[in-house]
Amino acid sequence: MTRIAALRAHRLPASWLQRDVGLVARELVGKILVHGRRAGIIVETEAYRGPEDLASHARFGPTARTSVMFGPGGVAYVYLCYGIHEMFNVVTGAAGDGQAVLIRAIAPYAGLPDDPAVGRGPGKVTKALLLDRRHDRKDLATGGLFIATDPALPAPPIATGPRIGVAYAGAWAAEPYRFWWRAHPAVSGARKTSTRRKR
């Protein structure tokens, strides 16, 4: 049995993703993002809380692009950033919440070069796993695009700090909604942690 085939028995159900975005973003670190024959260990995430979060796409309410964020959790949200990079997000929470988790970095697990830089950054995540906007709104509970747990992996030490590139969001930019595997070489951003209280 291949590593990918073994992961299918440990696929995360939609109900696991239909929880609060902060909890899901933290617990996704150390899980495996699988697309076809390629897979990466999630080592860095960012939580986007909903319409009240001024760093979130949901702040504008449901639009043609963001309506997926307002559905029930357990589906993908993929968008184009700056006309260059496609970004992969996991919609979380209940219908109407407008929550999503950006997958900022992955480490090689299967079907990828043994190089920590291959998925170091959200634009590289999609390139490494061959994901693009055709995967927007895909159901992560079925098919060849899913998230799983590998019981053989150690529990990662989690660090928390502010999100990256959201200075426009005012006080929301300082919220500790970024989570990463402490000291992992595949993490994309600064390793500075935060002691600010989470909402």
**Cβ–Cβ < 8 Å for 19, 90:** no
DSSP letters spanning 126-192: HHHHT--GGGTT-BTTSTTEEEE--TTSPPPPEEEE--SS-GGGGGGGGS--EEEETT-TT--S---
* pTM recorded for the entire structure: 0.94
pLDDT of residue 192: 54
CATH number of 3-181: 3.10.300.10
121-136 pLDDT per residue, tens: 999 999 999 999 999 9
pLDDT beyond 60 at 199: no
Ranges of each domain in the chain: 3-181
5-26 pLDDT per residue, tens: 999 999 999 999 999 999 999 9
- What does pLDDT average to over the chain? 93
pLDDT of residue 195: 42
For CA atoms 174, 137, 17, 143, give the dihedral sign. negative
